[in-house]
């Protein structure tokens, strides 16, 4: 009987230490299951939201995940789209030296511009100027503008038209073909939002004009114009498209007054176009 306890009497424990005690499986297995239950859901969530951005609070705790829409959008070299654009148009008027010399006489007529609502629509072609990470793009956005421009004529002496009121309003409705060429500088993308700035020139040509009363409205504008364009916008990425609201300002660089030998044209030195446009672009 004593031989069965020989190992313990001689303190021979080496062979038994090569294997874990039978009782350790009682806490090791639950520990592994607990670790697996904590890690596997996180791996599955990371796989599901691959390419997303973690949202953390000040303490570093994850509060949510933002999925990045159109993650390969910057890899495209050419990106087409279209736009619609309400406009606020007016003319910058500069009175002539003849007007100041004729003050107090029947030949003095002052001109005041009134802001009017217009509308434009067209297409957008965006070209990347460099690798996908570049901030510079070239935009060509041909379109058609349906312009309404209003001016008021006020006499500074006797009004030159018989039986006329003291103030006459001229409204010229025209259809204009726009061919803007713009440089775009965009910021780094933060989630699904990106800011950008645009600047360039816009040559335009008139393809149709109408006047509400040719007998009274003698002031005319030439058919071609060149304007300076600049503005800011916001790129909003959605799963299937990019939506970009943009506010752009346009200032005429050329005099669009058509010189005529009448009292209206002689009272004006130059006419320059000014437009504020809200572009709503889909790409």
Tens-digit pLDDT profile for residues 171-195: 878 899 999 999 999 999 888 999 9
Mean pLDDT for 74-88 is 92
37: three-class secondary structure by DSSP: helix
The predicted structure's pLDDT at residue 68: 81
Mean pLDDT for 78-88 is 95
The predicted structure's pLDDT at residue 50: 44
Percentage of residues in the chain having pLDDT higher than 90: 37
Shortest CA distance to 164 belongs to which of 86, 263, 40? Answer: 263
Percentage of residues in the chain having pLDDT higher than 70: 65
DSSP labels, 87-114:
EEEEEEEEE-HHHHHTTTSTT-EEEEEE
The enclosing H or E element of 169 equals strand 168-178
Under CATH, which number does the domain 73-282 receive? 2.40.160
Of the two residues 105 and 12, the one the predictor is more confident about is 105
Contact by Cβ (8 Å): 214, 172: no
Burial (CB count within 10 angstroms: exposed 0-12, middle 13-18, buried 19+), residue 172:
buried
What are 112-128's pLDDT values in tens digits?
888 899 999 999 999 99
Contact by Cβ (8 Å): 159, 133: no
Mean pLDDT for 129-158 is 85
Mean pLDDT for 227-253 is 95
């Amino acid at each position: 009987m004593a031989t069965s306890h020989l190992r313990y009497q001689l303190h021979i424990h080496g062979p038994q230490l090569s294997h874990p005690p039978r009782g350790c499986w009682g806490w090791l297995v639950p520990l592994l299951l607990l670790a697996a239950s904590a890690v596997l859901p996180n791996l599955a969530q990371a796989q599901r939201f691959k390419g997303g951005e973690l949202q953390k609070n000040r303490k570093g705790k994850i509060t949510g995940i933002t999925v990045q829409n159109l993650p390969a959008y910057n890899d495209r070299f050419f990106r087409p789209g279209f736009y619609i654009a309400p406009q606020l148009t007016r003319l910058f008027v500069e009175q002539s030296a003849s007007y100041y010399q004729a003050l107090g006489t029947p030949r003095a007529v002052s001109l005041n511009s009134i802001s009017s609502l217009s509308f434009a629509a067209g297409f957008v072609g965006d070209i990347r100027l460099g690798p996908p990470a570049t901030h510079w793009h070239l935009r060509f956005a041909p379109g058609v503008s349906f312009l309404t421009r209003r001016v008021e004529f006020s006499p500074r002496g006797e009004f030159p038209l018989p039986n006329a009121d003291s103030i006459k309003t001229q409204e010229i409705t025209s259809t204009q073909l726009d061919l803007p060429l713009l440089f775009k500088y965009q910021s780094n993308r933060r989630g699904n939002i990106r800011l950008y700035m645009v600047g360039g020139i816009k040559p335009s040509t008139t393809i149709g004009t109408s006047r509400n009363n040719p007998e009274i409205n003698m002031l005319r504008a030439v058919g071609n114009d060149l304007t300076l364009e600049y503005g800011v916008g916001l790129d909003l990425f959605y799963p299937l498209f990019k939506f970009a609201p943009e506010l752009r300002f346009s200032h005429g660089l050329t005099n669009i007054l058509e010189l005529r030998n009448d009292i209206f044209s002689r009272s004006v030195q130059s006419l320059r176009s000014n437009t504020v446009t809200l572009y709503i672009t889909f790409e």
